[in-house]
Structure 1
């Protein structure tokens, strides 16, 4: 995942724009080094991910940012979003930060193949075992 995906579409609702009141797209946060796509194993926590991001200081000097949107391609665990959101709120505590995601990873339901009848049979069996 690259920061261009995460924050190149971070935008402020009050900004100089060709259309009054229209949001302006800003690269508010930049990724320091490229990262590999996660393929399994241990995911990095938001605090670890933050070390690879930095603010575009020139854009921060641009004025008030009452709302900032973070755009990302896929929401999996939310670690990258949390890292970026926390960074923004530390520097701009009065800013409303929201996320926009193109897709969300579907996590399989471990109980999808279990019916109520299966649970009732199992519960009855356990109760009988405990009663004897």
Structure 2
């Protein structure tokens, strides 16, 4: 058994249309914003409650980028398997920032459309 595991599974909906970018070397990346929600009943009031979490998902697998580009749009329901990665970047004001994303690398990760191919 592995000494550690870094695996994320999400089932949720896209909060906006995917953003596809191309690199100078011909590679492409898809950036997704995925919402997951949980519902429960408040014990004290009996009121239905809901909480939504937003997840940044980055797809580097070129075949999956093609699927994202052709079939996914805001509202699409998807199943994602990837791994958490944190990276550092410099914002427009020059400050260093960190972001944690669910990443699907080539030959790793999975993306399944859960609401068909109509679009």
Normalised by the length of structure 2, the TM-score is: 0.24
The structure richer in helix per residue is 1
Query: Does 1 or 2 have the higher relative contact order (CA < 8 Å, sep 6+)?
Result: 2
Normalised by the length of structure 1, the TM-score is: 0.22
The structure richer in strand per residue is 2
